Copies of this chain bind each other. A is one copy, B any other.
Amino acid sequence: MVSQENNCRICQEKSCASKVLSIGNLDILGNSCRTMTISKGETILHEGSLTSHVIYLRSGLVKETVKGIDSQEQIFKIIKGKTYLGMSSLFGDTINHFSYKALSDLTVCHIEISAFKQLMLENAEFTYKIMESQCKENLHNYDKLLKQGQKKIFGRLADALLYFSEDIFENKKFTLPLTQQEVANFIGTSRESTARGLSNFRQNGIISVNNSVVEILDLNCLKQVSRTG
């Protein structure tokens, strides 16, 4: 981990919310903010630890996880750059409800919670923007979780592939950042079922898989599977 002081004025990766901050506000932020790099595989934040900082993911890919029963890792979602991590825990509790682990090399900022709260109480538009983005995320998460409960495995797997293709990588061809075990933990099933699902999609010409490079060949069919369940 390399850490350095930060000038938020000139940051190229501002969040939606911090774009509304005045120069004065940005300097308050910069004074309470440290940027650092984290390498793939490291854990940024542990479930169960006390909340102490706002963490802003500038760039890179992160998995948000919880320990399930018999302490199997459940993956809640994959997070890409320009996102605050663990806001619900930060404002809704004193301990973190999720762990965050780097799926790639990352750049993150640690912001002192007191400074962040000060900004929120001084600048209602900032708070409003933060709330807006949280609400958007929540709608998305609830939608995903509720649908997941109804769908069968092929449908959920299709959803996961579409999620990576459309939301995360914005490309029909991408390198899966997860092992099959992790995909299974993400869609709530067993590793074997995930493997069988991928085989099935491959055999039906819906996708191609080479090592961990996936390409969606028949998007309509995949969407169909996602709908049908």
Binding site for B on A (CB under 8 A): 66, 68-69, 72, 74, 76, 87-93, 97, 117, 120-125, 127-128, 130-132, 134-139, 141-143, 145-151, 188, 227, 229
Contact = CB atoms under 8 A, between A and B. Distances in A.
A42 to B, nearest CB: 23
A127 B146 CA distance: 28
A88 B139 contact: yes
Given A74-B149, A149-B148, A131 B91 contact: yes
A117 to B, nearest CB: 8
Given A127-B131, A151-B69, A141 B139 contact: no
A75 B91 CA distance: 26
Contact of A74 (B120, B124, B146): B146
A149 B184 CA distance: 12
Contacts of A66: 146
B92 A132 contact: yes
Contacts of A91: 131-132, 135
A34 B173 CA distance: 53
Contacts of A142: 76, 88, 97, 141, 145
Contacts of A151: 69
Contact of A68 (B69, B120, B128, B150): B150
Nearest to A98: B142
* A-B pairs, 6 with minimum CB distance: A92-B135, A124-B124, A91-B135, A92-B136, A145-B145, A149-B188
